[in-house]
Structure 1
């Protein structure tokens, strides 16, 4: 289950602490959409107990993080730096996660497990955030999104090296 990713709530908190309206709006929308995804998934999931336990565990971890950043780090500047570092680590791990399939792609010489549209979206999103961070001179936003650009180009290279085969049934239906 993908669920509510700490990136949205972390960057939302970072934006609120920094007073950055763009970070607040974008990550509020992202958190709302992910919450709707969780609710829809829970509605249709046959193993509700496992999913509810995972969701409750994630919410507990998020509450612990919230308590740490907002209660145990009283200095706003230190909180901003620690929260920026926390968000950066999660964002970088999110961008690096598709490379877990790298060995499978090379071993099978197939990119069937990779999504070309998602690769394009990742490149555009990470480049936009990287430029936004550069404009603000915010190293946490800029540096954490740079791996998204790099991993997108790695996946583009993989698509070039191991092109996806077209589904024969699709071609038969078009004739």
Structure 2
């Protein structure tokens, strides 16, 4: 097995593992018969992100991207349907979902019909997917500021932080090996934010010695 194939498998395993952490929220919703205390928007944005990278992988004929993001999109769709089933505000969820579908259709129309085939389409799609992924990795920074102010990491999941670190690192190395900066660059912020989380876990580890100072992950 060469290094690129090894990186491909690590990307698949780590990323699918990270996507599977949403099963915790699914289990919580089924147990409580409610979607309270579960956020819907991350499911939707991650699904859109998966579909964008799936299309990029199809155009580039990259099996790793296609496999990972087809599984990711399927899982996120399951989470979305489960959330819609248990939420009390189905109209709001439906509106957000339809808006996401409209954006997805508009994007497909632009990249498939208006741009047509060629390197320009692949480059512009890669750029859009990269920017979207970077924004998703950087969006929790506001929460990290609140955690620093409060001096507690109870809102953070240590296993999820480890999964994010492994996933971001494997994709960064995979993109570097392929000389594809659209894959490599957007995953570097994931490494940065994971390192910040690890530092916070270390800094506030002694806050409470009787119980874990972070949120565990249960599936």
- Fold-level similarity (TM above 0.5): yes
Displacement of 1:150: 1.0
Aligned match for 1:34, one of 76, 96, 107: 76
List alignment gaps of at least 5 residues for structure 1. 169-175
1:3 corresponds to: 43
Q: Please name the residue that 1:74 is paired with.
A: 116
The answer (yes or no) to whether the contact 1:123–1:149 under 8 Å persists in 2 is: yes
- Number of residue pairs the alignment of both structures matches: 168
> Which stretch shifts more, 87-96 or 69-78?
69-78
Question: Are 2:74 and 1:19 aligned?
Answer: no
83-92 or 103-112, larger mean C-alpha shift: 103-112
Instruction: Check if 1:152 corresponds to 2:190.
Output: no
* CA drift at 1:75: 3.8
Find 1:104's aligned residue among 120, 140, 146.
146
**1:70-149 map, 5 Å:** 70-149=112-191
Alignment partner, residue 100 of structure 2: 58
**Aligned-residue offset at 1:167:** 4.0
Distance 2:193 2:129 in 1: 18
Answer 1 or 2: higher relative contact order, Cα 8 Å, separation at least 6. 2
The runs of 4+ residues in structure 1 deviating greater than 4 Å are none
Q: Distance in 1 between matches of 2:83 and 2:154?
A: 25
What displacement does 1:3 show? 2.7
Residue pair 1:111, 1:158 contacting (<8 A) in 2 also: yes
Asked if the contact 1:126–1:148 (Cα under 8 Å) also holds between the matched residues in 2, the reply is yes
RMSD between superposed Cα atoms in Å? 1.4
Contact map agreement 1:110 1:162 (CA 8 A) in 2: yes
Bigger helix fraction: 1
- Whether the 8 Å contact between 1:3 and 1:55 is mirrored in structure 2 is no
